[in-house]
Amino acid sequence: MRRLPPLNALRIFEVAARTGSYAEAGAELGLTHGAVSRQIAALESWLGQRLFMKDGRRMVATPMARIFAAEVGLSFDRLAVAADACGRPNARRILRVSAPTSFAMRWLIPRLNRYHADHPQVEVAVTTVSTVLEELRGGVDVAIRRGVVREHVWPQHRVVPVLDDVDTLIMSPALFAQRPILKPADIEEHTLLASETRAGDWADWLEAAGLQHLAGRPRQIFDHFFVTRQAVEDGLGVGIGPLPMLEIDVASGRLMTPLPEIRVPRTGYVALIPRQADAGNLVAGFVDWLAGEARGEPAPVLRTVG
């Protein structure tokens, strides 16, 4: 007989550690805050050590608990794969994908109709993270992150390159019509828009453009790139944006690249697959499709209503 912790308590613990909140765990599982607390307490009693410590009004997982939760999440992933492999062969499959918000909004989601057309039995459920450096958590089949193919960085995952990335100057066509940028020095007439999540974009572009003397110029900074991109589209200033991720906006006329020849190579995106996942090659097939999309056709043009 295996000496296993209480499995229901393990399930609740993994969600609480992943969400960082007893209340969010309860909402996800349909349980009260008290029920979550009791199950965590039962698991702590079984293990003989604390898993969460009080920090203000929140219960925060200990460093050891975070490591344990990652292992538990991987075990549940493996169990889910085994259940799928033994389940109904024609049943609809759910493929859970975690991706940075801008990548999901501007590159992945506009292409999913093409994937679903060829794989009607699969539903792709996308969750987003606010930063490409956010730690990996259980509960997803594929995680997209910025990085290179170095297995030791993610030792429990298989790493597959998906999309290359270069930065270039972006602005709205309406702003270009008012104050065109025909040469690098013309940006002195514009407000520079930047993102906390993409620090260094302007410094690197200015160096590539031979405008290092403008590196100390004030910028309007937003917390995330998808906010900056919207500000650029609204004509509030000019920004630095990634290609090919923003090709969908260029094709639709929302954005333009006034100096496309000035490009700064960036670390691209990789797909991370849990090593024990995908008994039926569903995940591997999806990642192959992602890589094919990156090499092939542009995404469909987004259309707005009204």
Domain ranges in the chain?
7-70, 99-306
Q: What is the pLDDT along the chain (306 residues), one digit of tens a residue?
A: 678 888 999 999 999 998 888 888 888 888 888 999 999 999 999 999 999 988 887 888 999 999 999 889 888 888 877 776 676 656 678 889 999 888 898 899 999 999 999 999 899 999 888 754 445 555 678 989 988 776 667 777 888 999 998 999 999 999 999 999 999 999 999 999 999 888 889 999 999 999 999 988 889 999 888 899 999 999 999 999 999 889 889 999 999 999 999 999 998 899 988 876 654 578 889 999 999 998 875 545 444 433
Sequence-ordered list of residues with C-beta below 8 angstroms from that of 223, at least 6 positions apart, any chain? 195, 196, 197
Token pair in block for residue 250: 């260029």
Give the pairing type, strands 239-243 and 157-170.
antiparallel
DSSP state of 184: G
What is the rounded distance in angstroms from the CA atom of residue 87 to the CA atom of residue 280? 11
As a whole number of angstroms, the distance between CA 193 and CA 197 comes to 12
pLDDT at 152: 66
Tell me if 225 sits within 8 A of 165, measured CB to CB. Answer: no
Answer for the pair 171, 256: CB distance below 8 angstroms, yes or no.
yes
pLDDT at position 134: 47
What H or E segment, with its residue span, contains residue 269?
strand 264-274
Q: Rounded to two decimals, what is the model's pTM?
A: 0.62
- Tokens of residue 169, six digits: 């100057």
- For the domain bounded by 7-70, which CATH number is listed? 1.10.10.10
Contact 76, 39 (CB under 8 A): no
Per 3-state DSSP, the chain is made up of helix, strand and coil in percentages (nearest 5) of 45, 25, 35
pLDDT for 227 equals 92
Query: Which tokens sit at 273?
Result: 């697959």
> Which residues are bridge partners to 129 per DSSP?
100
Q: Which long-range contacts (CB under 8 A, 24 or more apart) does 79-87 make?
A: 81/276, 81/277, 81/278, 81/279, 82/279, 84/279, 84/280, 85/279, 85/280
Residue 49 burial class via C-beta count within 10 angstroms: exposed 0-12, middle 13-18, buried 19 and up: exposed
- Alpha-carbon span 119 to 77, nearest angstrom: 22
Q: Tell me the sheet residues that pair with 274.
A: 157
CA gap 233, 106 in Å, rounded: 13
Peptide bond into 244 cis (omega under 30): yes
What is the structure's pLDDT at 18? 87
Alpha-carbon span 183 to 169, nearest angstrom: 11
Is residue 198 classed as helix, strand or coil in its secondary structure? helix
Indicate the CATH number for domain 99-306. Answer: 3.40.190.290
